[in-house]
Chains A and B, each alone.
Chain A
Amino acid sequence: MSGFHWDWAFAWSIVPALAQGVVVTVIATAGGSALAFVLGLIWTFVRVAQIRIVTPAVWFFVQFIRGTPLLIQLYFLFYVLPTWGLSVSAFATGVIGLGLFFSAYTAEIYRAGIEDLPPGQWEAALTLGLPVRRAWTGIILPQAIHAVLPMLGNIVVSMFKQTALLSTITVLELLASGMAIGQMTYRFVEPLTLVGAFYFVVSYLSARALRSLETRDEVRA
């Protein structure tokens, strides 16, 4: 390995390959976010409903997910899902892993949003004689979710950065693309720097946009 020099021609030549990685990273973030938003809402309902055995079990599950590394959770899913007869692709495993991990955080966000609503909202719904379902879907959830949108946005930004972990379970996302180029060409400076720069630009800009809405409260693995 020779000394360092930055080769612009080489840097340009690898951009198309990295762009393919970007597409995978973005789709993984979108899929993982969708899953985290839905699962988190389910955990929140179970939490709020106070069902015997089920609610404590979900509470423990959520604490467990929050207390352990995402990397190992991904490894576990990657090696265990097939033995359960679920032969899903590495990419799908990654999306499931991200969605599960971050659902533990979205659950807490939804709960805070619901509990921070003024009690008058509940009383008004009761006074108006709204059916329970309408009270939730028409009054409580829209306000609660609107109030926590910036925090949910922060979850998406955190997840975007964490998608780099999917490279460890053979998903060819951005970081894995950069590493593959490095291993093929024995040049690591350009690919890894571009990868880092891309993550930085996207998450810095989105975080800035979100910060104008709310203070940051990020999640890391």
Chain B
Amino acid sequence: MRQAIRNKIRAWSARRHGRDVLPIKIHRRRVYILPTRFGVMLAMMLVAMLLGALNYNSNLGLAFAFLLMSVALVTMHHCNRNLLGLHVDVPAEVDAFAGREATFEFVLRNDSSVERRDVEICCTTAAGLGSVSARAVEVIPVVIPAPRRGVVRVAQFELRTRYPFGWFHSWTYVQGSLTAYVAPAPRGSRTLPAASGVGAEYRSESRGEEDFAGLRAYEAGVPLKHMAWKVLARGGEPAVRSYTSSAAQPEWLEWSSLEDQDTETRLSQLCLWVLESHAAQRVFGLRIPGTEISPARGAAHRVACLRALARYGTAEPS
């Protein structure tokens, strides 16, 4: 029942404000406020106080009751103010692995001279809490558990606060779509399909763009940074460290090479391979049904591959 009402309010607010493009500044027309349960208790007490003071014809009692009423009114404004004019930004897409968490890092900027305390950000079931000092920027992480592979979309998030006294609950909805791509948990027992010549022990030593392959005799014109100074220092022949570039041999991580396993196991294996290949600075491509990512390397490529794995089998467009 309550959830249904809440959903209705959310839908109504989504219709009212339309989609938001981040970053946004929280305008007063989108900040709502209602008393909390404690606020309702306070209101009932204030009514009782007012009646009592009127009955006793006590002007001092009335003054006190009115003062408390006014404090409640001012508090209402302050609770509303706690969100007003905040700038909110958040990276729209984050990546995670199944079984871990996806973390949205909300950036709240406060241009005003008043501190914003106890601002809570809620995305679906998860929430983050933080305060933003006057004229400051604060990052508030919201950690969403990601138990299963797939794509988690947050169509709407909520900023809310009960500051200062917990008498009122002020909130605003932001219709900003956030996406968490939950890649499969990287695990599997198979070795990389194109394990041609470059073993795991080399990969661990990899540095720069190329892999160390061995020493060869010095020739003129070799860059100084490739000189094997330690060999020279030991009194040996001048030698040069040689590197093999893996760019020469693109390799494909294939869905079809894991035919005897079920879908999630296959995806987990592919995910592990992607991470290993990326760590090895190799050029690799990914081929799964419906998606083919041509060979490349680098962080963006890794992310593209992981997202493809996360999306597999979901209705999400690539």
Binding partners A and B = no
